[in-house]
Amino acid sequence: MKTKLEMQRQPLNPLTLWYTEPASKGKTILSPGAFNTTEEDNLWQQFTLPIGNSSMGANIYGEISQERLTFNQKTLWNGGPSTRRPNYNGGNKPIAENGLKMSAVYQKVIELYQANQNEQAAELAQQLVGEANGYGAYQSWGNIYVDFLLDESQVENYLRSLDLTKGLATVSFDYQGGTFSREYLASYPDNVIAFQYTAKNGKMNFDIRFPIHNEEKILKKNLGKEVSTSVFGNNITVSGSLQDNQLLLNSQLQIGETDGKVFVKDGETLAVREATFVTIFVTASTDYQNIYPDYRTGETSQQLNERVAKILTAAVKKGYQKIKADHLKDYQQLFERVQLKLGQTTAPLPTDQLLKNYNEGLATDAEARQLEVLLYQYGRYLAIASSRKGDLPANLQGVWQNRVGDAERVPWGADFHMNVNLQMNYWSTYNGNLVETAYPLIDYLNSLVAPGKVSAEIYFGVTSGFTAHTQNTPYGFTAPGWSFDWGWSPAAVPWILQNVWEYYEYTLDDDFLREQIYPLLRESVALYDQLLIKDSKTGRLETAPTFSPEHGPITAGNTYEQSLIWQLYQAIITGAKVLGQDTEKISGWQKTQAQLRPIEIGQDGQIKEWYNETTLGSLGEKNHRHLSHLLGLFPGNLISIETPELLEAAIISLNDRGDESTGWGMGQLINAWARVGDGNRGHQLIQKLFKDGLYPNLWDAHPPFQIDGNFGYTAGVTEMLMQSNLGFIQLLPALPDIWSDGFVKGLLARGNVEICLTWQEKVLIETTVKPNIKQVVKLRYPNLANAKVYDDKNQQLSFQRINQDTISFEGAAEHKYRVVLKQK
């Protein structure tokens, strides 16, 4: 295959991922990862390009002769209620292995801790587990194959791309004097995946199939699908159910406008002949509904079929061009809010080559910046493509998943992991100015309350409040896993509620707070009001048993839980004051919060992860990937530039953890170092992430592929440029030397304030501030008191000087204020 790309093509938009070979020709880098990752899985995770509208996803291989797309629909999950599991109860196990009621085990553990019998308490705590039966896993739906019988040796100028400015994937090449182009999009407004194929100076002949994914002898385990395919007219319909839980599924593919001949080739295949243009539409759904305890819409297979057919018919009628126009409008109004310029170029290099050059130190500065900006915006693209209103949140792989089977084949079941991963998926949501993509998370959390109350009652013996732990699913699995060592993590709920609370912090939407957020906080606080116990030595409040995610000893109280519980009370106290609700409870909550055991500094000056830790390394593992004791630094605000002693200790702890980690671990480190204010260290970690945690398609590698690191990176870059967690907005708080000149537009700060920054030679020149709501805006930057502030009419505005670095002024809604530090 010859490529004359540089000569023939226009320079591509710098926010495009592009390649000069189909995915199957890619040379894999990094290790494939665990979970029996096959060579095929590895190619998929490293080279295919994802499109998605949140509820559906597809990965495009861009093959010449046999085009292939893997297809997903986010609700296609095994597990949960099933005729095979009439007693499915969210994984909860009312009676422990030792024959005691679970809540009695919990009580006994507390008593043992209070009697200082710590070892016995920790041993007994191991009984606090749930059961795996019914956990399930997210299932790949199937593949779409388009068989063009082409002689690949005659192809020239091959290009495969994903344009982040438009949310469009393309494949194009020249063949025997003609040019063949394929364009793919996933539309949120029309709920379809749409293809447009065109041929110039040539004709297209192909067969198209949509087989469901049922490989790997899954049928024997009853983890497969039972489906039938009907091909009629210009439509392929696959309908049936999952063997494991009888979830109904229905997917339909239809050929729309074309000048070619369309006919049914066989019971699985449609044929298209002699076409110069063809449009194809795909949509799918299941009878899943996120309502406890049945999790089904109640539809019959026929009704589901009608619902899916209706969406498809409307799309075909609307046509590709209108669907594309509406897709662009919908996508771009979100994507275009943020612009980042770090001096990047538009390199004439495919993305895999650019990444290679970056990692080998061969990229020019401008090329390196191009890749950094591309990855930044890719995180925003992936959020829009995997998390829209009306849907489940982005799972461990967003919406993209190519495997079938149980959680031994599907990495971690591609579930909702709440001991860091689901949180990280939403770290870049708000400051990246994509608040709309948070709705699925907030809805999902609300859906965990009903099953989570059952878990709270079974495990803690309480009658109010809800809980959930490390892992959960769309079927209300809220039990603590099936092994304490990774499963137990009740503080996962206060932690994820921090992401939910941030919705309010960033939007200041009181109505939304009242209806969607405050009731959730209340349910969580109701639990902690009952769980907190007094530590006999310090007289402080703590919970037991506690476990720092996947690390170290089981103890009564640890920094992870204490920091998160503190944050939870902080949120409810603020929320109650804003809404004027529960005012009689506020002082009690304040008292509780003040009595929580605080963060402690150890003998080496480190933040202690456990209260019985002495020196660094006296407990736990060296370089453990979880930074659970530093959540007060990021995403919390218990450790900050305003608590210099704790900050110093956090730096010691961060250095002790080191820079080697999994993809998401490096993502978290970037954010943590940004909060420290060390931009150069942040950039060092960015380079590490590019080298050890990124595939050629710029997906994050655990390995295998896990999407959290993508979002973690995007959040981290924003935190380097702007932070707003301390009651004021810090401008360029952690700028690396290498980003000496730049511009960023549209970051969102807490308080619903949009920020635009211009800097040169590492010095802030000008800031534009646009409050979306009237408020006092507080800004911080070295010597900001020397700045001049101008309003919309270019009139100089007087401001309050809080100190030499901090100023504030009254901002009117939707007005723009320019803060000028230095003349350009």
CA-to-CA distance for 711 and 433, rounded, in angstroms? 13
Q: Which of 61, 381, 412, 484 binds ligand FUC (CB under 6 A)?
A: 412
Number of other CB atoms surrounding residue 211 within 10 Å: 15
- Residue among 386 and 419 whose Cβ is closer to ligand FUC: 419
Say how far apart CA 732 and CA 619 lie, in whole Å: 36
Neighbours of 232 (CB within 10 A): 9
How many Å from the N-terminal Cα to the C-terminal Cα in the chain? 50
Q: Is 550 in the site for ligand FUC (CB under 6 A)?
A: yes
**Residue entry with tokens 């039938």:** 228
Give the number of residues written for the chain. Answer: 824
Q: Strands (DSSP E) along 614-727, which ranges?
A: 722-723
Residue nearest ligand FUC by beta-carbon distance: 412
Q: If DSSP codes are grouped into helix, strand and coil, which group holds residue 92?
A: coil
Q: Give yes or no for residue 419 binding ligand FUC (CB under 6 A).
A: yes
What minimum distance in Å lies between the beta carbon of 417 and ligand FUC?
A: 4
Pairing label, strands 142-148, 66-73:
antiparallel
Binding segment for ligand FUC (CB under 6 A), chosen from 352-360, 416-424, 504-512, 599-607, is 416-424
Output 486 or 799, the one with its CB closest to ligand FUC: 486
Quick one: 421 or 671, whose CB is closer to ligand FUC? 421
State in angstroms the smallest separation of the CB of 625 from ligand FUC.
6
Burial of 177 (0-12, 13-18, 19+ CB in 10 A): exposed
Kindly state the greatest CA–CA separation across the chain.
84
Q: Measuring CA to CA, how many Å separate 263 from each of 69, 226, 254? A: 22, 26, 12
Q: Which stretch binds ligand FUC (CB under 6 A): 362-370, 413-421, 522-530, 812-820?
A: 413-421
Do residues 487 and 130 lie in contact, with contact meaning Cβ atoms separated by under 8 Å?
yes
Q: How far is the CB of 162 from ligand FUC (least distance, A)?
A: 25
Stretch that binds ligand FUC, among 108-116, 414-422, 691-699, 805-813 (CB under 6 A): 414-422
DSSP state of 406: S
In contact, 725 and 501? CB cutoff 8 Å: no
Distance, CA of 207 to CA of 264 (rounded, Å): 9
Q: Which is nearer to ligand FUC, 167 or 693 (CB)?
A: 693
Q: x/- contact string, 216-235, with ligand FUC (CB under 6 A)?
A: --------------------
Which DSSP string do the residues of 588-615 spell out, in sequence order?
A: HHHHHHHHB----B-TTSPBPSBTT--S
Q: How far apart are CA 30 and CA 32, in angstroms?
A: 7
642-671 mask for ligand FUC (x: CB under 6 A)?
--------------------x-x-------
Q: Which is nearer to ligand FUC, 191 or 662 (CB)?
A: 662
Residue 795, judged by CB atoms within 10 A of its CB (0-12, 13-18, 19+), counts as exposed
Question: Is residue 409 a contact residue for ligand FUC (CB under 6 A)?
Answer: no
- Looking at the Cβ atoms of 522 and 702, the one nearer to ligand FUC is 702
In terms of CB distance, is 663 or 682 closer to ligand FUC? Answer: 663
Residue 327 interacts with ligand FUC (CB under 6 A): yes or no? no
* Contacting range for ligand FUC; rule: CB under 6 A; set: 136-144, 284-292, 415-423, 436-444: 415-423
Taking the complex as a whole, the smallest distance from the CB of residue 702 to ligand FUC amounts, in Å, to 5
Task: Tokens 């998370």: give the residue.
Answer: 441
Which region among 68-76, 157-165, 329-337, 412-420 touches ligand FUC (by CB under 6 A)? 412-420
| DSSP annotation of 144 | E
Smallest separation (angstroms) from ligand FUC to the CB of 395: 10
Task: Among 417, 453, 629, 681, indicate the residue that binds ligand FUC (CB under 6 A).
Answer: 417
397 binds ligand FUC (CB under 6 A): no
3-class SS of residue 694: strand
Strand partners, 700: 694
Q: Which of 150, 185, 227, 396 binds ligand FUC (CB under 6 A)?
A: 396
Q: How many Å apart are CA 248 and CA 305, to the nearest integer?
A: 10
For residue 505, report the phi and psi dihedrals to the nearest 5 degrees: -55, -35
Q: Which stretch binds ligand FUC (CB under 6 A): 417-425, 475-483, 596-604, 777-785?
A: 417-425
Residue with Cβ nearer ligand FUC (292 or 412): 412
| 353: its two tokens | 């080559």
The distance of closest approach from Cβ of residue 74 to ligand FUC in the complex, given in angstroms and rounded to an integer, is 17
Smallest distance, Å, CB 252 to ligand FUC? 33
- Interface with ligand FUC, residue 421, by CB under 6 A: yes
DSSP structural state of residue 11: P
CB of 621 to ligand FUC, least distance (A): 12
Measured from the CB atom, the residue of 420 and 734 that comes closer to ligand FUC is: 420
Closest CB 708 distance from ligand FUC, rounded Å: 7
Contact by Cβ (8 Å): 57, 75: no
Q: Nearer Cβ to ligand FUC, position 172 or 706?
A: 706
Q: Counting contacts by CB under 6 A, is residue 697 touching ligand FUC?
A: no
Cα 755 from Cα 498, distance rounded (Å) = 23
Query: Which of 614, 721, 786, 662 lies closest to 412 in space, CA to CA?
Result: 662
Total residues interacting with ligand FUC, rule: CB under 6 A: 12
The binding site for ligand FUC (CB under 6 A) comprises 396, 412, 417, 419, 421, 486, 550, 625, 662, 664, 702, 706
